[in-house]
Each structure stands twice: as structure tokens, then as C-alpha cells.
């Protein structure tokens, strides 16, 4: 039955489970769902300015999503090409974590654990400098981060612009360190014995896709660390984690030992469904049928987009593995094998921003239809559909 995102958020709340894992494709509505859930748990009161303050809503819910990453942006010093800085937008969240909670050194340690122990972030101290008009301006503390590679002899490389994966990992490290502190504090059973009462009213932690731009190795490390942290929680906090990454979902599913997960789907009329699924994606074939149905729907509606090629390649890889082929390309139809191989690689591995926004051409869309039809020639799919 289709529902609004508000109703899906209510469904999550009504479940009252310690952990809920959600799988959804990019663009389905995971980030919007996290915001709807936040509004449900800590609603804004009409006309009450204080109710809109982030520090008040986070008394009940902490959440990490794409909007958290939007707090950071690069100042590339284009004139001198020397002082690469990751700037932090003025906000109460990072001020709370870094200034109020004093987590800056823990953030550095956590970041280095999942990247390189020589790659060192440095937060700025408060300082005064002159602006373009010659006026003195105050640069607040913890508003900038620079990165350098330590050489082991008291020297370093100078400021570097880190990779997108390292940048994503740095932002996640800030949230993760706060979460470690929160869980540690709330694991003290008696509120009177806790080092602070700031987290006493916390009910939920909602984490949406902390794995963007991470390579497979660091993605698994992050998933294992998050699962261990969640398992260490003995308080009444409930966790909701959503992701578009099959690997991240699988690691969490198995590390946490949950009995079931959820798949979020969006329909053409703008409504949604949240279906319970048993087993991780490798054991639960309905996951793959779900992907196949989405591609077939896109073909039928002539709405094939770039990400459908990645989904299609995922199906070919799983099918080839099950049938014992050395490569997924061995399953491609012979007469169009070279062309199909080329566009599948192009749309799943390109990095240029111009390519990312380009819509597939009509011949490329036709190839998606041809390739999904080609999968139906393997009896494996029919057998699994009957068994599912």
C-alpha cells in the first residue's frame, strides 16, 4: 500500500525497534525521509522561534544526511593555489561537537584510522585578519580545516586538497565521535551518575548514507565500526540507518544480526512504500527482483537514467557469479557485446560532472531494454522468481 513520506516516518516510529535498516536507491527520498522523521520526533511549533533551534531538536534526535555534508565547502585559494581550506558554514552542530564537546582531537584520530595516519587535519583557532576593504574581521575558531601529509621529521607537505572520499570520511568522523560520546554517556544507567545531562532526552539516531564516495575497503570498515558502536549501546536509543549501498547494507545486516531489513520505494504518483525484507541482499533474491522490476518500469516509461546502468550491471554481475561465468560481460548478447560493454563501463565509472548530468541517448536507452530482456533468457531468473 502506497504512503506519504510522513506516513512512512510514522511507520518507522511505530515499529519501536532498536535498529531499522533501510535500503533505497539514490533519488528515492532517503534524505527527505530523515527530515520527515526529525519533524515527527521534534516538531516545530508555529510561531515559536525557539522550537526551530537545532540544539533543541537534537535533544530528541541526532541525524546525519546529505545536508550535514553541505555544511562544508572548499576555499581553493585560486589566486595563489596554495592555501586549500575546507570551510565550515556557521552552524550550531559543528560548534556543539567541536567547541562544546571538545571532540576535535577524537575527530582527527578517527579520520586517520580510516584514511592515512600521516594525513592530518588542523582546525583553525580564532584570529583577526583584514578583509578586502582593509577592515579587521574576526575568523571564528573551528570554521576552517586544513590538511597536510606529515613526513615524520617535524615537517609536512603543506596544505592539500583531499579526495572526495577522504572529505566524506572527515565529515562522518565528526558525527561518529559525537555518537561515541553520546552512547558512552547514556550507557551509564543512573542519570545522576552521568557526566552530563545533555543527552538524557535523546530518543533516536537517524543516519542516512554516510558512505558516499568511499572505496569498498573503507566502506566495510565504517560499517563494522558503526555496527559495533550500535551494539554497544545499552540505553533506550533507537537507530535508523538508510543507504543506497548494497555492501554497506549487507555488512550492517550481518554484523548487527537483525532479523529483517526494509526497502524504500517511490511510485510515479509521488507516494512511497516501505517493505520488510528477510535476509541480506545476497540471501534474499527478492532484492534483485526489485532492482529488475525498477529497470523494467523505467524502460516501459522511457525514463531510463544514468543510475539504471549501474543497477543493470549489478544484476549481470550477480547472475554471472551464480551461473559460474568468469565475467559478467560473458552474458552480454554477442552482436552488441562491445557496444553494451562500453556504455555500461561509461555510465558506472565516469567522474566528470558534465557526464554525470547527461541523460542517456535514445540508442543507449534501447540498449538497457535489450540487456534486461537478455537476462530473461537465463532460466535462473524464472526459477528464482517462482521460488520467491
Among 48-52, 64-68, 209-213, 376-380, top mean pLDDT goes to 64-68
What is the band of 57 on the pLDDT scale with cuts at 50, 70, 90? low
Q: Are 34 and 242 in contact (CB under 8 A)?
A: yes
What confidence tens digit (pLDDT) does each residue in 259-310 have?
899 989 888 788 999 988 887 766 554 567 777 888 888 888 888 887 788 8
pLDDT at 343: 73
What is the band of 47 on the pLDDT scale with cuts at 50, 70, 90? very low
- As annotated, the residues of the chain forming the CATH 3.40.50.300 domain(s) are 5-277
Percent of the chain scoring above 70 in pLDDT: 83
CB neighbour list of residue 212: distance below 8 Å, 6 or more residues apart: 66, 69, 168
Give buried/exposed letters for 275-299 (b at 16+ CB in 10 A, else e): eebebbbeebbbbbebbbebbeebb
Q: How far apart are CA 138 and CA 81, in angstroms?
A: 23
Q: What is the mean pLDDT of residues 49-69?
A: 68
Architecture of the 5-277 domain? 3-Layer(aba) Sandwich (3.40)
Rg (CA), the chain: 23
Q: Are 82 and 99 in contact (CB under 8 A)?
A: no
- Picking from 92, 117, 115, the residue whose alpha carbon sits closest to that of residue 172 is 115
pLDDT at 277: 83
Q: How far apart are CA 108 and CA 127, in angstroms?
A: 21
C-alpha cell at 94: 559543528
How far CA 366 is from CA of 143, 370, 375, in Å, comes to 49, 6, 15
Could you identify the residue written with the cell 586549500?
84
- Picking from 4, 28, 13, the residue whose alpha carbon sits closest to that of residue 206 is 13
pLDDT at 1: 67
Parallel/antiparallel/unpaired status of strands 85-88 and 144-149: antiparallel
pLDDT at 238: 97
pLDDT at 295: 87
Neighbours of 203 (CB within 10 A): 14
* pLDDT above 60 (res 37): yes
Neighbours of 113 (CB within 10 A): 14
Angle subtended by helix axes 104-114 and 164-186, to nearest 10: 130
Instruction: Tell me whether residue 329 is exposed, middle or buried, using C-beta atoms within 10 angstroms of its C-beta: 0 to 12, 13 to 18, 19 or more.
Output: middle
Q: Are 194 and 187 in contact (CB under 8 A)?
A: no
Backbone CA torsion sign across 81, 83, 84, 88:
negative
Amino acid at each position: 500500500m502506497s504512503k506519504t513520506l510522513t506516513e512512512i516516518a510514522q511507520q518507522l516510529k511505530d515499529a519501536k525497534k532498536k535498529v531499522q535498516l533501510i535500503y533505497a536507491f539514490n533519488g528515492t527520498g532517503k534524505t527527505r525521509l530523515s527530515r520527515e522523521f526529525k519533524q515527527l520526533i521534534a516538531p516545530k511549533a508555529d510561531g515559536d522561534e525557539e522550537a526551530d533551534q537545532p540544539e533543541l531538536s537534537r535533544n530528541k534526535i541526532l541525524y546525519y544526511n546529505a545536508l550535514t555534508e553541505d555544511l562544508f565547502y572548499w576555499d581553493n585559494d585560486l589566486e595563489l593555489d596554495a592555501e586549500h581550506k575546507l570551510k565550515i558554514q556557521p552552524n550550531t552542530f559543528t560548534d556543539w561537537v567541536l567547541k562544546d564537546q571538545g571532540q576535535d582531537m577524537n575527530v582527527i584520530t578517527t579520520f586517520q584510522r580510516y584514511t592515512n595516519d600521516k594525513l592530518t587535519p588542523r582546525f583553525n583557532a580564532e584570529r583577526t585578519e583584514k578583509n578586502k576593504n582593509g577592515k579587521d574581521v574576526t575568523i571564528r575558531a573551528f570554521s576552517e580545516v586544513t590538511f597536510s601529509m606529515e613526513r615524520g621529521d617535524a615537517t609536512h607537505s603543506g596544505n592539500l586538497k583531499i579526495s572526495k572520499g577522504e572529505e566524506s570520511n572527515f565529515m562522518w568522523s565528526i558525527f561518529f565521535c559525537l555518537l561515541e560520546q553520546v552512547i558512552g554517556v547514556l550507557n551509564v544507567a543512573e542519570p545522576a551518575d552521568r557526566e552530563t545531562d545533555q543527552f538524557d532526552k535523546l530518543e533516536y539516531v537517524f543516519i542516512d548514507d554516510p558512505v558516499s564516495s568511499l572505496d569498498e575497503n573503507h566502506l566495510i570498515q565504517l560499517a563494522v565500526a558503526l555496527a559495533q558502536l550500535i551494539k554497544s549501546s545499552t540505553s533506550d536509543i533507537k537507530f535508523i540507518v538508510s543507504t543506497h549501498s548494497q555492501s554497506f547494507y549487507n555488512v550492517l545486516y550481518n554484523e548487527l544480526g537483525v532479523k529483517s531489513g526494509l526497502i524504500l520505494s517511490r511510485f510515479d504518483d509521488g507516494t512511497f512504500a516501505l517493505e520488510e525484507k528477510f535476509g541480506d541482499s545476497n540471501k534474499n533474491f527478492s532484492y534483485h527482483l526489485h532492482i529488475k522490476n525498477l529497470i523494467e518500469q523505467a524502460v516501459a516509461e522511457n525514463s531510463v537514467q544514468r543510475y539504471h546502468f549501474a543497477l543493470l550491471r549489478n544484476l549481470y554481475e550477480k547472475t554471472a557469479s551464480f551461473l559460474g561465468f568468469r565475467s559478467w560481460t560473458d552474458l552480454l548478447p554477442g552482436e552488441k557485446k562491445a557496444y553494451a560493454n562500453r556504455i555500461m563501463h561509461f555510465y558506472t565509472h565516469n567522474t566528470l560532472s558534465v557526464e554525470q548530468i547527461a541523460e542517456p541517448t535514445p540508442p543507449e536507452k534501447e540498449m538497457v531494454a535489450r540487456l534486461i530482456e537478455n537476462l530473461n533468457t537465463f532460466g535462473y531468473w524464472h526459477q528464482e522468481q517462482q521460488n520467491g
